[in-house]
Amino acid sequence: MVITVPGTLSNLGPGYDALGLAVSLVNRFSFRFDQGYSAEGEDVDPTSHLTLATARRTAERFGFPLRGLHVEQQERVPRARGLGSSATARVAGMLAALSQHDREVSLEEQLAFLSEEEGHPDNVVPALVGGLCVVGFESGGLRHLRLGPPRGLSVALCVPAVEVSTPEARRILPLEVTHADAAFTAGRMAFLMAGLLEGRHHALRLGVQDRLHQDHRAALIGPVADAFAMAEVAGAAGAFVSGSGSTLAAFVPDGTPGEDVAEAMCGPFRALGVGARALLVRPLARGALVEG
Protein backbone atom coordinates (compact mmCIF):
# COMPACT_ATOMS: atom_id res chain seq x y z
CA MET A 1 0.00 0.00 0.00
CA VAL A 2 1.22 3.50 -0.82
CA ILE A 3 -0.06 6.58 1.01
CA THR A 4 0.89 10.08 -0.10
CA VAL A 5 0.32 13.03 2.23
CA PRO A 6 0.87 16.73 1.44
CA GLY A 7 2.89 19.10 3.53
CA THR A 8 1.05 22.07 4.99
CA LEU A 9 1.44 25.72 5.83
CA SER A 10 -0.22 26.79 9.06
CA ASN A 11 -1.24 30.08 10.69
CA LEU A 12 -0.73 32.04 7.42
CA GLY A 13 -0.01 35.09 9.56
CA PRO A 14 -2.94 36.00 11.83
CA GLY A 15 -4.68 32.59 11.75
CA TYR A 16 -2.82 31.27 14.78
CA ASP A 17 -3.83 27.63 15.37
CA ALA A 18 -6.86 28.29 13.15
CA LEU A 19 -5.74 28.07 9.50
CA GLY A 20 -3.89 25.47 7.48
CA LEU A 21 -3.22 25.03 3.76
CA ALA A 22 -2.16 21.88 1.91
CA VAL A 23 0.63 22.46 -0.62
CA SER A 24 2.27 20.50 -3.42
CA LEU A 25 5.17 19.24 -1.35
CA VAL A 26 4.25 15.61 -0.75
CA ASN A 27 5.64 12.74 1.35
CA ARG A 28 5.23 9.16 0.13
CA PHE A 29 4.86 6.21 2.51
CA SER A 30 5.08 2.60 1.25
CA PHE A 31 3.65 0.02 3.65
CA ARG A 32 3.88 -3.76 3.88
CA PHE A 33 1.75 -5.68 6.36
CA ASP A 34 3.44 -8.60 8.10
CA GLN A 35 4.68 -9.69 11.52
CA GLY A 36 7.13 -7.30 13.22
CA TYR A 37 8.03 -3.66 12.59
CA SER A 38 10.64 -2.10 10.34
CA ALA A 39 11.50 1.23 8.73
CA GLU A 40 13.64 1.54 5.61
CA GLY A 41 14.29 -2.20 5.81
CA GLU A 42 15.67 -2.13 9.36
CA ASP A 43 13.92 -3.59 12.38
CA VAL A 44 12.84 -0.80 14.75
CA ASP A 45 11.10 -0.28 18.05
CA PRO A 46 7.70 0.95 16.81
CA THR A 47 7.28 3.25 19.81
CA SER A 48 10.30 5.27 18.67
CA HIS A 49 9.17 5.77 15.06
CA LEU A 50 6.45 8.37 14.55
CA THR A 51 4.64 6.70 11.64
CA LEU A 52 4.63 3.26 13.23
CA ALA A 53 3.81 4.57 16.70
CA THR A 54 0.80 6.42 15.31
CA ALA A 55 -0.39 3.24 13.56
CA ARG A 56 -0.18 1.30 16.83
CA ARG A 57 -2.01 4.01 18.78
CA THR A 58 -4.68 4.10 16.06
CA ALA A 59 -5.32 0.40 16.56
CA GLU A 60 -5.47 0.88 20.33
CA ARG A 61 -7.77 3.88 20.05
CA PHE A 62 -10.29 2.21 17.75
CA GLY A 63 -10.03 -1.26 19.26
CA PHE A 64 -8.49 -3.67 16.77
CA PRO A 65 -5.23 -5.65 16.60
CA LEU A 66 -2.22 -4.59 14.52
CA ARG A 67 0.16 -7.52 14.20
CA GLY A 68 2.97 -5.73 12.43
CA LEU A 69 3.85 -3.02 9.91
CA HIS A 70 6.78 -2.16 7.67
CA VAL A 71 7.30 1.27 6.11
CA GLU A 72 9.61 3.02 3.68
CA GLN A 73 9.36 6.81 3.48
CA GLN A 74 10.25 9.14 0.66
CA GLU A 75 10.26 12.58 2.23
CA ARG A 76 10.08 15.85 0.35
CA VAL A 77 8.73 17.85 3.30
CA PRO A 78 11.67 19.12 5.38
CA ARG A 79 11.55 18.09 9.01
CA ALA A 80 11.30 20.57 11.90
CA ARG A 81 10.77 23.53 9.55
CA GLY A 82 7.09 24.40 10.09
CA LEU A 83 5.84 22.54 7.01
CA GLY A 84 3.84 19.77 8.67
CA SER A 85 6.33 16.90 8.35
CA SER A 86 5.13 15.25 11.57
CA ALA A 87 1.51 15.65 10.44
CA THR A 88 2.26 13.68 7.25
CA ALA A 89 3.72 10.83 9.31
CA ARG A 90 0.75 10.75 11.68
CA VAL A 91 -1.81 10.81 8.87
CA ALA A 92 -0.03 8.02 6.98
CA GLY A 93 0.31 5.87 10.07
CA MET A 94 -3.34 6.27 10.98
CA LEU A 95 -4.60 5.51 7.47
CA ALA A 96 -2.36 2.44 7.17
CA ALA A 97 -3.72 1.03 10.43
CA LEU A 98 -7.34 1.81 9.56
CA SER A 99 -6.99 0.03 6.22
CA GLN A 100 -6.42 -3.24 8.08
CA HIS A 101 -9.76 -3.22 9.87
CA ASP A 102 -13.32 -3.11 8.63
CA ARG A 103 -14.67 -0.80 11.32
CA GLU A 104 -16.06 2.46 9.90
CA VAL A 105 -14.24 5.37 11.52
CA SER A 106 -15.77 8.75 10.72
CA LEU A 107 -13.77 11.69 9.46
CA GLU A 108 -14.59 13.54 12.69
CA GLU A 109 -13.14 10.67 14.74
CA GLN A 110 -10.03 10.57 12.58
CA LEU A 111 -9.44 14.32 12.87
CA ALA A 112 -10.02 14.31 16.63
CA PHE A 113 -7.50 11.50 17.04
CA LEU A 114 -4.90 13.18 14.84
CA SER A 115 -5.31 16.51 16.62
CA GLU A 116 -4.77 14.87 19.99
CA GLU A 117 -1.67 13.11 18.70
CA GLU A 118 -0.22 16.25 17.10
CA GLY A 119 -1.28 18.62 19.90
CA HIS A 120 -2.95 21.08 17.49
CA PRO A 121 -5.17 20.65 14.42
CA ASP A 122 -3.95 23.21 11.89
CA ASN A 123 -1.49 20.86 10.11
CA VAL A 124 -3.17 17.46 10.41
CA VAL A 125 -6.57 18.64 9.12
CA PRO A 126 -5.37 19.97 5.72
CA ALA A 127 -2.88 17.10 5.48
CA LEU A 128 -5.80 14.65 5.63
CA VAL A 129 -8.51 16.51 3.69
CA GLY A 130 -6.56 19.02 1.55
CA GLY A 131 -7.38 22.61 0.58
CA LEU A 132 -7.55 25.61 2.86
CA CYS A 133 -8.92 24.59 6.27
CA VAL A 134 -10.38 26.59 9.14
CA VAL A 135 -10.16 24.73 12.44
CA GLY A 136 -11.26 25.35 16.01
CA PHE A 137 -12.63 23.75 19.15
CA GLU A 138 -15.90 24.07 20.99
CA SER A 139 -17.47 22.10 23.83
CA GLY A 140 -18.44 19.33 21.42
CA GLY A 141 -14.87 18.90 20.17
CA LEU A 142 -12.94 19.81 17.03
CA ARG A 143 -14.72 21.66 14.22
CA HIS A 144 -13.35 22.26 10.75
CA LEU A 145 -14.32 23.82 7.44
CA ARG A 146 -12.58 22.72 4.28
CA LEU A 147 -12.42 25.43 1.64
CA GLY A 148 -11.08 25.15 -1.87
CA PRO A 149 -7.43 26.16 -2.28
CA PRO A 150 -6.88 29.80 -3.23
CA ARG A 151 -6.53 30.32 -6.96
CA GLY A 152 -4.17 32.46 -8.92
CA LEU A 153 -1.40 32.08 -6.35
CA SER A 154 1.76 30.09 -5.86
CA VAL A 155 3.72 30.02 -2.62
CA ALA A 156 7.42 30.83 -2.45
CA LEU A 157 9.30 29.20 0.41
CA CYS A 158 12.56 30.01 2.13
CA VAL A 159 13.67 27.05 4.26
CA PRO A 160 16.63 28.16 6.40
CA ALA A 161 19.09 25.70 7.88
CA VAL A 162 17.65 26.58 11.28
CA GLU A 163 15.65 24.11 13.35
CA VAL A 164 12.90 25.59 15.52
CA SER A 165 11.41 23.53 18.31
CA THR A 166 7.62 23.83 18.34
CA PRO A 167 7.45 23.62 22.16
CA GLU A 168 10.05 26.40 22.45
CA ALA A 169 8.26 28.49 19.81
CA ARG A 170 5.09 28.20 21.90
CA ARG A 171 6.85 28.80 25.21
CA ILE A 172 8.19 32.21 24.18
CA LEU A 173 4.74 33.58 23.34
CA PRO A 174 3.21 35.93 25.93
CA LEU A 175 0.36 34.53 28.02
CA GLU A 176 -1.68 37.71 27.51
CA VAL A 177 -2.09 40.18 24.66
CA THR A 178 -3.46 43.70 24.68
CA HIS A 179 -6.89 44.56 23.35
CA ALA A 180 -5.21 46.64 20.65
CA ASP A 181 -3.10 43.70 19.46
CA ALA A 182 -6.10 41.36 19.47
CA ALA A 183 -8.14 43.85 17.43
CA PHE A 184 -5.24 44.37 15.02
CA THR A 185 -4.89 40.63 14.40
CA ALA A 186 -8.63 40.08 13.98
CA GLY A 187 -8.75 42.82 11.36
CA ARG A 188 -5.79 41.33 9.50
CA MET A 189 -7.53 37.95 9.48
CA ALA A 190 -10.47 39.56 7.66
CA PHE A 191 -8.13 40.97 4.98
CA LEU A 192 -6.42 37.57 4.66
CA MET A 193 -9.63 35.65 4.04
CA ALA A 194 -10.89 38.23 1.54
CA GLY A 195 -7.60 38.04 -0.29
CA LEU A 196 -7.55 34.24 -0.42
CA LEU A 197 -11.21 33.48 -1.07
CA GLU A 198 -12.10 36.32 -3.42
CA GLY A 199 -8.82 36.64 -5.26
CA ARG A 200 -8.19 40.16 -3.96
CA HIS A 201 -4.48 39.62 -3.81
CA HIS A 202 -3.74 43.24 -2.98
CA ALA A 203 -5.34 42.56 0.42
CA LEU A 204 -2.76 39.95 1.33
CA ARG A 205 -0.05 42.47 2.22
CA LEU A 206 -2.16 43.50 5.21
CA GLY A 207 -3.74 40.07 5.60
CA VAL A 208 -0.55 38.20 6.55
CA GLN A 209 0.34 40.54 9.41
CA ASP A 210 -0.26 39.65 13.04
CA ARG A 211 0.78 40.57 16.58
CA LEU A 212 0.24 37.21 18.27
CA HIS A 213 3.26 35.12 17.32
CA GLN A 214 5.37 36.12 14.31
CA ASP A 215 7.41 38.93 15.88
CA HIS A 216 8.18 36.79 18.93
CA ARG A 217 9.28 33.80 16.85
CA ALA A 218 11.50 35.86 14.57
CA ALA A 219 14.13 35.84 17.31
CA LEU A 220 14.38 32.05 16.96
CA ILE A 221 14.63 32.16 13.16
CA GLY A 222 16.86 35.04 12.05
CA PRO A 223 16.45 38.04 9.68
CA VAL A 224 12.71 37.58 9.16
CA ALA A 225 11.82 41.25 8.65
CA ASP A 226 14.55 41.67 6.02
CA ALA A 227 13.43 38.50 4.23
CA PHE A 228 9.81 39.69 4.17
CA ALA A 229 10.89 43.06 2.77
CA MET A 230 12.93 41.38 0.03
CA ALA A 231 9.98 39.15 -0.87
CA GLU A 232 7.72 42.17 -1.39
CA VAL A 233 10.36 43.91 -3.52
CA ALA A 234 10.51 40.76 -5.68
CA GLY A 235 6.74 40.85 -6.21
CA ALA A 236 5.18 38.85 -3.36
CA ALA A 237 1.68 39.81 -2.25
CA GLY A 238 2.61 39.13 1.38
CA ALA A 239 4.96 36.97 3.44
CA PHE A 240 4.57 35.11 6.73
CA VAL A 241 6.14 32.54 9.05
CA SER A 242 4.83 29.04 8.35
CA GLY A 243 3.79 27.37 11.59
CA SER A 244 6.39 27.94 14.26
CA GLY A 245 9.12 28.32 11.62
CA SER A 246 11.76 28.35 10.51
CA THR A 247 10.25 28.30 7.01
CA LEU A 248 9.12 31.64 5.63
CA ALA A 249 6.39 31.64 2.99
CA ALA A 250 5.11 34.26 0.56
CA PHE A 251 1.98 34.34 -1.59
CA VAL A 252 2.93 35.07 -5.20
CA PRO A 253 0.29 36.12 -7.80
CA ASP A 254 0.40 34.16 -11.04
CA GLY A 255 2.54 35.99 -13.56
CA THR A 256 5.16 36.95 -10.98
CA PRO A 257 8.32 34.79 -11.00
CA GLY A 258 7.87 32.83 -7.80
CA GLU A 259 11.38 31.38 -7.92
CA ASP A 260 12.76 34.91 -7.74
CA VAL A 261 10.66 35.63 -4.65
CA ALA A 262 11.92 32.48 -2.93
CA GLU A 263 15.53 33.33 -3.74
CA ALA A 264 15.03 36.90 -2.53
CA MET A 265 13.75 35.69 0.86
CA CYS A 266 16.79 33.45 1.21
CA GLY A 267 19.20 36.32 0.58
CA PRO A 268 19.32 37.81 4.10
CA PHE A 269 20.03 34.37 5.60
CA ARG A 270 22.79 33.59 3.12
CA ALA A 271 24.33 37.00 3.75
CA LEU A 272 24.77 35.93 7.38
CA GLY A 273 26.30 32.61 6.37
CA VAL A 274 23.13 30.63 7.09
CA GLY A 275 22.15 28.12 4.44
CA ALA A 276 18.66 28.52 2.99
CA ARG A 277 16.74 26.48 0.43
CA ALA A 278 14.38 28.19 -2.03
CA LEU A 279 11.26 26.30 -3.12
CA LEU A 280 8.11 27.11 -5.07
CA VAL A 281 4.86 25.20 -4.39
CA ARG A 282 1.17 25.49 -5.21
CA PRO A 283 -1.88 25.29 -2.95
CA LEU A 284 -3.25 21.76 -3.19
CA ALA A 285 -6.87 20.70 -3.33
CA ARG A 286 -6.32 17.09 -2.37
CA GLY A 287 -5.27 15.66 0.95
CA ALA A 288 -3.93 12.21 1.74
CA LEU A 289 -4.35 9.51 -0.94
CA VAL A 290 -4.34 5.77 -0.37
CA GLU A 291 -3.29 3.56 -3.30
CA GLY A 292 -3.49 -0.23 -3.34
Write the CATH number for 20. 3.30.230.10
Total domains in the fold of the chain: 2
**Containing H/E element for 279?**
strand 276-281
Same domain for 82 and 110?
yes
pLDDT of residue 173: 92
Same domain for 140 and 22?
yes
pTM as predicted:
0.95
Among residues 137, 131, 132, 250, the alpha carbon closest in space to that of 193 is found at 132
Among residues 285, 268, 266, the alpha carbon closest in space to that of 277 is found at 266
**Containing H/E element for 243?**
none
Splitting the chain (292 residues) into consecutive groups of 10 residues, what average pLDDT does each group show? Answer: 98 96 98 96 96 97 93 96 96 96 92 95 97 91 94 97 88 93 96 96 96 92 97 98 95 97 98 98 98 84
Question: Residue 222 contacts by C-beta under 8 Å, 6 or more apart in sequence?
Answer: 160, 162, 246, 268, 269, 272, 274
Same domain for 126 and 33?
yes
Q: Is 161 helix (H, G, I), strand (E, B) or coil?
A: coil
Same domain for 23 and 141?
yes
Rounded CA gap, 227 and 117, in Å?
A: 33
Same domain for 142 and 6?
yes
pLDDT of residue 169: 86
CATH of the domain at 220: 3.30.70.890
pLDDT of residue 24: 98
Same domain for 140 and 62?
yes
Using an 8 Å Cβ cutoff, are 262 and 157 in contact?
A: yes
Same domain for 248 and 273?
yes
Angstrom CA distances, 163 to 76, 157, 289, stand at 16, 15, 29
Same domain for 68 and 187?
no
Same domain for 202 and 130?
no
Same domain for 188 and 255?
yes
Rounded CA gap, 155 and 203, in Å?
A: 16
pLDDT of residue 236: 98
Domain interval for residue 228: 153-281
Same domain for 128 and 196?
no
Same domain for 142 and 159?
no
Using an 8 Å Cβ cutoff, are 52 and 46 in contact?
A: yes
Q: Is 236 helix (H, G, I), strand (E, B) or coil?
A: coil
